[in-house]
Amino acid sequence: MKKGLVITLIIITFIGLLVYNIAGTVHIMNVAGKIDSVTTVSNAPKQYLNLFTESKKLMFDETVVSKTRNPITKFDYDRKFRVEVYRVKVQPSISLKDIYESHKNDHITYHHTFHVLDDFDTYSVSYKSGTQDVAKSIYLNLCGDGTFTIKKNDSIAYYYSRARNFYIKFQKDGVQDFFVGPDDDWHQPVIPMEIMLMRRADQLYLVLLVPEKKSYFLAPGTLLTLIKK
Contact (Cβ atoms closer than 8 angstroms) between residue 188 and residue 106:
no
d(CA 107, CA 141): 11
Prediction pTM value? 0.83
The number of residues making up the chain comes to: 229
Give the pLDDT confidence of 151-168 residue by residue, as tens digits: 999 999 999 999 888 999
* 39-75 residue pLDDT tens: 999 999 999 999 999 999 999 999 999 999 999 999 9
- Among 173, 73, 174, smallest CA distance to 130 is for 174
Query: Per-residue pLDDT tens for 87-143?
Result: 999 888 888 989 999 988 877 777 788 888 998 878 899 999 988 878 889 999 999
Region of 12 please: left (phi>0), alpha (psi -120 to 50) or beta.
alpha
Amino acid at 168: I
Domain spans of the chain, in order of start: 1-36, 40-226
